[in-house]
Amino acid sequence: MTNIRRIQDADVAGKRVLVRVDFNVPMKDGVVTDDTRLRSAMPTIDHLVDAGAKVILLAHFGRPKGTRVPEMSLEPVAQPLADLVSAPVEFVGDCIGDDAASAIADMDNGDILLLENTRYHGGEQKNDADFADALAALGDIFVNDAFSAAHRAHASTEGIAKRLPSYAGLALQREIDHLVAALDKPERPVIALVGGAKVSTKLDLLQNLVKKVDVLFVGGGMANTLLNAQGVNVQASLCEHDLVDTARLIFVAAEQAGCQILLPTDVVVATEFKPNPSTRLADVNDVQEGEMILDCGPSTVVSLVMAIGTAKTLIWNGPLGAFETPPFETATITAAQHTAEAAKSGALIAVAGGGDTVAALNMAEASDDFTFISTAGGAFLEWMEGKALPGIEALREDAASAAETV
């Protein structure tokens, strides 16, 4: 995954550089409420401006499904971005066509132009050849800086990369380098923490991880299905009973790969799933009729902390209990804080990703001390599943070289 072309190796002076960014930002009443994704694009934008490129930004916003939805325009992003770069950012109400071409023709070196939502065109998500041609006609060089969209074979992520000399931006490079260091070329031992509600949503993930890591801890509702596969009666807990045979195969694969699977041994249970209900601490083999497992117990957390303490690399996806409903956040927060302390001290490389994971780590006030936290969502999960990401594959050195001959 590391044999990709990087923007540092490109001569961009005076060139029209099309940059795919992730500006799918939170917005309310036409106002950007969180500029994190804008800030993540700053290193690449600054690099290109300083190098004398004409910077042309491509992005999607929401799911307009090929139609012009006014509430999904990127125009409100232009001023917040201009405030960050301390320079004007021009906006054009389309991402292809005469208006876009005319605005680009008027650009000076170092100028920044934001084009309208690529998903206003149906050809974007279909990776339509004519639409990709129209995008590519606007630039001399393509830079992908949106890892969060790299798992989609869209025109602005993969199609355009097959038509222009293409490179990875600095934010995308940072994401890839950390993920490779965590799973493809890690310092061992490696422990993975996987949580969430259902095994069915993470079968590919579990099957890939048992081949890659030394220890796999499974928490959350997912753990109930694996416990049930071992003969534990989880009573009223969330459990995918139809996947018990599949879960058993995961144990077999782990044994063959030399991966140790850790599951909760004690749990916090309740008969009602609501904030602050009456709870009971129970051994996993002593869950009573009508009770639901909603968090790991203290003995499990101690064992997990000890396992983390022996690891050199940690990968985390998914909360370990129903963390959004008190008091079932305890295990997740305790593990997050311990991991953060180990990472801050330099004893552990800690990489995490996924929407619920990020929210849980923020709740634990542990995010700042993790080595790296991916906000890419689906792309992060597919990478952990061992799947090829089209937007990244198109940036590989052999693929990029082929594009230059087109």
Counted residue by residue, the chain has a size of 406
Buried b (16+ CB within 10 A) or exposed e, 294-332: bbbbeebbebbeebbeebebbbbbbbbbbbebeebbbbb
Cα gap 349→373, rounded to integer Å: 11
DSSP string, 176-192: HHHHIIIIISPPSSEEE
- Residue 198 annotated to the active site: yes
- The β-bridge relationship of strands 16-20 and 54-58 is parallel
Cα gap 326→92, rounded to integer Å: 47
- Residue 37 annotated to the active site: yes
Q: Kindly name the residue from 5, 15, 16, 37 that is annotated as catalytic.
A: 37
- Residue 219 annotated to the active site: no
314 close to 351: Cβ distance less than 8 angstroms:
yes
Q: CB neighbours of 346 closer than 8 A, spacing ≥ 6? A: none
- The β-bridge relationship of strands 166-168 and 141-144 is parallel
Q: Kindly name the residue from 66, 97, 110, 378 that is annotated as catalytic.
A: 378
Cα gap 230→233, rounded to integer Å: 9
Q: Kindly name the residue from 6, 126, 198, 312 that is annotated as catalytic.
A: 198
208: tokens are 């890939």
- Residue 355 annotated to the active site: yes
Active site residues: 37, 198, 355, 378
